[in-house]
Amino acid sequence: DVTAEENTMSADVPCTTASDHTARKSIKAGEKASEELIKSWKESGFSSLIVAGPEMDVWSIMQKLLPLLSYSASFAIYHQYLQPLADCMHNLQIGKMAIGLQILEPWLREYQVLP
């Protein structure tokens, strides 16, 4: 389970905020974010969010991360099962925390092409 105290990044990406688009020091995978950077994120918010937690409780993650999003920011959540997504979607709708929510299921059909 992800906690707010961990504050780790999963990719080596330059960190920018919604109001300050200047690149900051890159955080390497698994490296803890500085308190200054966390404070900056809390003040200005993120412009988007992608959560990929196939074995995690997505609702508890969203409760912690949703307040860090700036207004009108989009987000996407991936989970390998439908029920955790449906529960999270229901809680977001009941709490009037998000609009325009939809659940999509990726579907792929493999074709064999014979010579």
**Residue pLDDT, tens place only, 48-96:** 999 987 888 999 999 988 988 888 899 999 998 999 999 999 999 999 9
Neighbouring CB atoms inside 10 A of 66's CB total: 15
| pLDDT reported for residue 53 | 78
Q: CA separation (Å) from 108 to 54, 55, 112?
A: 19, 22, 13
How many angstroms from the chain centroid is the CA of residue 81?
17
At 75, which helix (H) or strand (E)?
Answer: strand 69-78
**Terminal alpha carbon distance of the chain:** 49
Average pLDDT, the chain: 77
For residue 86, the SS3 value is: helix
Query: Is the predicted pLDDT of residue 3 greater than 50, yes or no?
Result: no
Q: Which amino acid is at 64?
A: K
